[in-house]
Amino acid sequence: MLQVAFIRENKETVIKGLEKRNLSNANELVSKTIAADEDRRAIQTELDAVLAESNKLSKDIGMLFKSGERQKAELLKEKTVQLKEQSKVLTDNLQNKANELQELLYIIPNIPNKIVPNGKGEDDNLTVFEEGEIPTLHEGALPHWELAKKYDIIDFELGNKITGAGFPVYKGKGARLQRALINYFLDKNTAAGYDEVQVPHLVNEASGIATGQLPDKEGQMYHDAQDNLFLIPTAEVPVTNIFRDVILKEDEFPICKTAYTPCFRREAGSYGAHVRGLNRLHQFDKVEIVRVEHPSKSYEALDGMAEHVKGILQELKMPYRILRLCGGDLGFTASLTYDFELFSTAQDRWLEVSSVSNFENFQANRLKLRFKNSNGKSELAHTLNGSSLALPRVLAGLLENCQTPEGIKIPEVLVPYCGFDIIN
């Protein structure tokens, strides 16, 4: 969430940033927010004056009673009753205006970093790096959903029977390979200095609001209405909320966490061949990395996270590319995002397997996550997160790119984790 003072003091910068996101009502939204803040401040000033006058009269009344001037004291008491009524009305108005301002702030996305390219959607994202040789597959090579059926390692129909579409069942070597990837990703992350945590898979509304999933992505989250809890769309939500309402010391930076969790997304409106098989699921596994950084170090940290993900894909020997997302494709909370995509030869398309993002102080403002700087003043921290990695499309690409006439050859780095070197 942007700070209202920042919006007020940088109106044109905020409008231009929102327009970079192709927000058509940017000027109106910013103007309404500033107007609501001005109204709130005016009401607060009036309320403070009324309360100050009421306090002064209370002291005067006490003095008059002590000096025996009871009639004058009673007249002033009548005035304090009027002031109390006035203060009650002003307090209610202040709360209503504060709520209005809060709702406006909740729907304003983060301001893109200046290096974010202009663009309307994924076709306008900028490729900044590409590495790896795209394999030439044998005749009759299959997409992963056919390979899963051929080798009986993932059962989409069984998952549909148990739950519904988008909830696959991993079987045999498929389940072991899935577990191997999770352990491999966690080991890579912890070796890089990320502390592993196990977190709840359901969060309360306050946690969803703090990291920006609510109200922006409410329709994409599974919701238990009875307890008002939400199934997590990513480990980012519970891990980042570890630091909600926390004041850090400056020497505690950087804070680095990693977690494995299942993730749940309704993915409403997702249809077609491009979401077939593992390409888009309602439940999937992901290993996440989260950082809390000093503002002066957050972009250096973002580059480090990108290099870390690069290293994993290099070890898997997967052809991949890195995209800098354009303004129109940037997530609600992000200031700058790099997407990692690996190439699926069998599908002849790129599959997103990771996003690493810097939110600057956008989440921290909602989280009330601060630190004491060298001057002893309280300052908002910066938060970052990334997939390291999301499993479904990594697994899809691995199955498709590593297939041979003899079977699916497991990348060498994973063999110690899964205990076999081929699926046949």
DSSP string, 335-377: SEEEEEEEEETTTTEEEEEEEEEE-TTHHHHHHT-EEE-TTS-
> Which of residues 217 and 156 earns the better pLDDT score?
156
Same domain for 390 and 241: yes
Same domain for 200 and 78: no
- Among 78, 106, 134, the domain boundary falls at 106
Same domain for 236 and 138: yes
User: What is the per-residue pLDDT across 187-223, written as a single tens digit (0 to 9) for each?
Assistant: 999 999 999 999 999 999 999 999 999 998 888 999 9
Q: Which residues are annotated as a binding site for L-serine?
A: 234, 265, 288, 385
Calpha distance 388→113 (Å, rounded): 23
Q: Which residues are annotated as a binding site for ATP?
A: 265-267, 352-355
Same domain for 359 and 251: yes
**Res 273 pLDDT > 60:** no
**Res 424 pLDDT > 90:** yes
pTM, entire model: 0.93
User: What is the per-residue pLDDT across 86-99, written as a single tens digit (0 to 9) for each?
Assistant: 999 999 999 999 99
Same domain for 276 and 244: yes
Residue 64 included in any domain: yes
Q: Is the distance from CB of 371 to CB of 248 less than 8 angstroms?
A: yes
**Res 270 pLDDT > 60:** no
User: What is the per-residue pLDDT across 42-88, written as a single tens digit (0 to 9) for each?
Assistant: 999 999 999 999 999 988 888 888 888 888 888 888 888 999 999 99
Same domain for 275 and 221: yes
User: What is the per-residue pLDDT across 313-356, written as a single tens digit (0 to 9) for each?
Assistant: 999 999 999 999 999 999 999 999 999 999 999 999 999 999 99
Same domain for 364 and 287: yes
Cα(first)–Cα(last) distance of the chain, in Å? Answer: 51
Residue 161 included in any domain: yes
User: What is the per-residue pLDDT across 387-405, written as a single tens digit (0 to 9) for each?
Assistant: 999 999 999 999 999 999 9
Residue 197 included in any domain: yes
Average pLDDT (142-156) is: 97
Q: Is the distance from CB of 250 to CB of 374 less than 8 angstroms?
A: yes
Same domain for 365 and 220: yes
Domain that holds residue 174: 122-423
In degrees and rounded to multiples of 5, residue 122 shows phi and psi of -60, -25
3-state secondary structure of 96: helix
Average pLDDT (116-121) is: 97
Calpha distance 225→102 (Å, rounded): 23
Same domain for 147 and 48: no
What pLDDT, on a 0 to 100 scale, did the predictor assign at position 266? Answer: 92
The number of domains in the chain is 2
User: What is the per-residue pLDDT across 162-196, written as a single tens digit (0 to 9) for each?
Assistant: 999 999 999 999 999 999 999 999 999 999 999 99
Q: Which residues are annotated as a binding site?
A: 234, 265-267, 288, 352-355, 385
Average pLDDT (261-271) is: 80
Average pLDDT (232-251) is: 97
- Among 55, 74, 106, the domain boundary falls at 106
3-state secondary structure of 66: helix
Whichever domain contains 25, its CATH number is 1.10.287.40
Residue 151 included in any domain: yes
Same domain for 54 and 184: no
What pLDDT, on a 0 to 100 scale, did the predictor assign at position 136? Answer: 93
What kind and span of H or E run contains 127?
strand 126-131
Same domain for 343 and 222: yes
Whichever domain contains 167, its CATH number is 3.30.930.10
Same domain for 330 and 279: yes
Residue 116 included in any domain: no
